Structure 1
């Protein structure tokens, strides 16, 4: 079965919402948001997030989404931020996360500026993926979300 990677628009918000909620349910310690808070968000917010600022990539297989990743490209900083990387468990180990990350990093904003991301401590598979794409640890460690005992490491690609 093959996959199609696509940079989505706000019109694709329902597919984005569906895969994001599955990701939050599957890997709650990999995201700063929680399933509960995300599930209650209005459709207008989902539409806005799907449309930018910065590309959101979804991976499609048949009629379902099987992976995602985003690139936040704020005007006010010199960096871009990779966020929301996730692949459906049945699709892991096939290079899909690498394909999503490569597409995000090939975007013009990512080509022109350093990229940052966070990875949960202990998620060695994800960390190795990011290191293969040129990310290195910055030495900065943060809680996953306020009050969390789960820690994340900041990585940078220059």
Structure 2
């Protein structure tokens, strides 16, 4: 299994996995399939641009040259919040769940963020209807610090999110 930072050359494969994630697990993400499928290839390439290292990006896990999992991150803006980053859009294809791939992706992202040297807190939000994800994040060292009621809405259905954080010591 190869895990690496994604670049613009990965845009087509990344978009396919992202759209798959939004179709298979629509309640787990803030974005919708309908919105994301409207993006053009240049927009996907821009999203994966490495022009601003340390500000945002995605890692991909590859099996036989195919992306089978992704994780994103972004650094908070503003002088007083730049010590924090957020993990977003984590997804592992069903065929690779339970293989340790999710931990590999999370460790790659955390190692990268830790390596920047000035980030000391990583946050994420996870829908409370996904207890397996919450348990996974807890195993990775994250702790719940709050709950956002009605964080997401799909039609008439609301989803609460557990807010989690990890401090780098």
TM more than 0.5:
yes
Partner Cα distance (1:86, 1:111) in 2:
26
TM-score (norm 1): 0.89
Q: Deviations over 1:99-125 (max 9, x none)?
A: 100100001248732000011102111
Aligned counterpart, 2:57: 55
Partner Cα distance (2:58, 2:32) in 1:
19
How do 1:1-158 and structure 2 match up within 5 A?
3-51=1-49, 53-76=55-78, 77=81, 78-107=83-112, 108-109=115-116, 112-146=119-153, 148-158=157-167
- 1:31 touches 1:144 (CA, 8 Å); kept in 2? no
Pairs aligned (count): 156
Deviation at 1:23, TM superposition (A): 0.8
Give the CA RMSD over aligned residues: 1.8
Deviation at 1:146, TM superposition (A): 5.0
Deviation at 1:145, TM superposition (A): 2.9
Structure 2: gaps of 5 or more residues: none
**Structure with the larger helix share:** 1
Which secondary structure does the structure 2 equivalent of 1:101 belong to?
Answer: helix
Partner Cα distance (1:62, 1:85) in 2:
20
Which secondary structure does the structure 1 equivalent of 2:164 belong to?
Answer: strand
**Structure with the larger strand share:** 2
* Bigger radius of gyration among the two: 2
- 2:92 touches 2:101 (CA, 8 Å); kept in 1? yes
Structure 1: gaps of 5 or more residues: none
Q: Deviations over 1:63-110 (max 9, x none)?
A: 321100011123422310000111001110011001100100001248
Which secondary structure does the structure 1 equivalent of 2:19 belong to?
Answer: helix
